[in-house]
């Protein structure tokens, strides 16, 4: 267990989720004993975190996890996506026409994404942080006071610590963002995402399916084999908020019947492998990503609809950009908590975040709609995209995170 060194050459990360732990590991591996790195989160006291969520980890994020030494730990539990199909129908339709099909490879032999369990990824990151010498403090950050030379961090138990930088990775309702006076632009979609693991008779073959239904998208995402029928998938079922109380009050048999109506019969008999959990959906973006001695990370900086499976990947792009910014500054002998350094991080992430938020918001509004003229127009659009290989390849590379000039970690390079 690493011991905290009370020094100004320190960085504290408030939030022990995947983004916060990834940043801590990247910084500690790159800066070594030159900096003390701490993750503070009350949830670190939990020996096991029940979590049935699974994430689509894009090719660039997979390269980053490889550079951090995490991928080899979780690779056996990661399911490659070999294909993705998109259909647009009503839940009662017997035939669901496929309007768009994506080959799952961004390059030959390189899937554009993998499905990874949240619990497995969090556990691997926690263990790696502990082994690398990151201080894991099972306590929340209650507040902070920033100054010219450092930030004084107040922990929930009353103790103060001084650091050069505080990173707020404390979620979409970030109290640290609020304390810094950073505004938030956002709205509630009036939808929730219902998440569960489903067992099924027939193999999925690595195929991901996105059914666009009037209440929102219903995604079937492939997982590694297992479960009572030998094969498993994760579902992310978007449903209108007003329907949620009735759905969550159903017993297991009736809930399974509702899922089966949307899941279809292609994979044979299905069964619930986990309870169904509900997560409210909304959009939000911080007006700034940095303040004095403070940087926002992940959901504290932005929140998007899961329609394109990019939420985690957007947060890991933040990690790669912030880690690169901090490490480069520290190696030049600069203070990584100064405004000049932090503004570089904001410039690197602001446009990409707003662009992805606009895309997911537009897609959700376009497809969570049953108006016949709009359905005809969007289905025509999907069909046109399906006939343009160059455009499909562009979309795949964007979704995989390999377009443009990603940060070094997302190219699989060490800092």
Asked if 320 and 410 touch (Cβ cutoff 8 Å), the reply is: yes
111 domain residue, yes or no: no
The answer to whether residue 379 sits within a structural domain is no
List the CATH number of the domain containing 325.
3.50.50.60
Query: Would you say residue 327 lies in a domain?
Result: yes
How far is 166 from 146, CA to CA, in rounded Å?
9
- Counting Cα atoms < 13 Å in the Cβ hemisphere of 237 gives 26
Per residue in 382-414, pLDDT tens?
655 556 666 567 667 777 787 778 899 999 999
| Counted domains in the chain | 1
DSSP string, 276-315: -EEEEEEEEEES-SEETTEEE-GGGTEE--GGGS-HHHHH
> pLDDT tens, position by position, for the chain (415 residues)?
565 655 568 999 999 999 999 999 999 999 999 999 999 999 997 655 567 789 999 999 999 999 999 999 999 999 999 888 888 765 555 455 566 777 767 777 889 899 999 999 999 999 999 999 999 999 999 999 999 999 999 999 999 999 999 999 999 999 999 999 999 999 999 999 999 999 999 999 999 998 888 788 899 999 999 999 999 999 999 999 999 999 999 999 999 999 999 998 899 999 999 999 999 999 999 999 999 999 999 999 999 988 777 889 999 999 999 999 999 999 999 999 999 999 999 999 999 898 888 888 877 777 666 666 666 666 656 655 556 666 567 667 777 787 778 899 999 999 9
Full-prediction pTM beyond 0.75? yes
Whether 277 contacts 319, CB under 8 Å: no
Q: Beta strands 231-240 and 184-200: pairing type?
A: antiparallel
Q: And the tokens for 305?
A: 């609809």
Of 300, 334, 297, 346, the C-alpha closest to 35 is 334
Domain that includes residue 137, residue range: 10-49+116-186+282-368
């Amino acid at each position: 267990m690493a011991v905290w060194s009370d020094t100004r050459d320190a960085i504290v990360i408030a939030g022990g989720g995947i983004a916060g732990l990834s940043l801590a590991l990247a910084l500690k591996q790159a800066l070594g004993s030159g900096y003390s790195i701490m993750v503070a989160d009350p949830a670190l006291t939990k020996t096991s975190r029940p979590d049935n969520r699974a994430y689509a980890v894009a090719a660039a994020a997979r390269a980053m996890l490889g550079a951090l030494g995490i991928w080899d730990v979780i690779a056996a539990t990661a399911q490659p996506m070999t294909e993705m199909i998109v259909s647009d129908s009503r839940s009662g339709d017997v035939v669901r026409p496929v309007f768009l099909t994506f080959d799952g490879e961004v390059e030959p032999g390189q899937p554009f994404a993998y499905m990874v369990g949240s619990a497995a990824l969090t556990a691997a990151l926690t263990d790696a942080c502990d082994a690398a010498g990151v201080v894991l403090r099972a306590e929340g950050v209650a507040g902070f006071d920033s100054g010219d030379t450092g930030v004084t961090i107040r922990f929930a138990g009353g103790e103060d610590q001084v650091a050069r930088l505080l990173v707020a990775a404390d979620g979409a309702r970030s109290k640290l963002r609020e304390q810094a006076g950073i505004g938030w632009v956002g709205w509630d979609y009036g939808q929730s995402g219902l998440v569960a693991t489903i067992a099924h008779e027939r193999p999925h073959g690595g195929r991901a399916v996105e059914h666009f239904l009037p209440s929102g998208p219903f995604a079937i995402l492939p997982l590694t084999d297992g479960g009572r029928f030998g094969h498993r998938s994760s579902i992310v079922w978007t449903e209108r908020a007003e329907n949620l109380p009735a759905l969550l009050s159903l017993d297991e048999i009736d809930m399974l019947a509702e899922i089966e109506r949307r899941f279809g019969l292609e994979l044979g008999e299905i069964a619930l492998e986990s309870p169904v959990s509900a997560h409210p959906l909304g959009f939000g973006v911080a007006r700034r990503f940095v303040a004095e001695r403070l940087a926002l990370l992940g959901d504290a900086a932005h929140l998007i609809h899961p329609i394109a499976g990019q939420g985690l990947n957007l947060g890991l792009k933040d990690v790669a950009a912030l880690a690169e910014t901090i490490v480069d500054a520290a190696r030049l002998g600069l203070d990584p908590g100064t405004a000049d350094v932090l503004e570089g991080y904001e410039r690197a992430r602001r446009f990409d975040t707003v662009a992805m938020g606009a895309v997911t918001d537009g897609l959700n509004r376009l497809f969570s709609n049953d108006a016949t003229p709009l359905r005809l127009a969007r289905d025509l659009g999907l069909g046109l995209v399906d006939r343009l290989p160059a455009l499909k390849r562009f979309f795949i590379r964007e979704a995989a995170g390999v377009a443009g000039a990603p940060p070094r970690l997302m190219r699989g390079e060490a800092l």
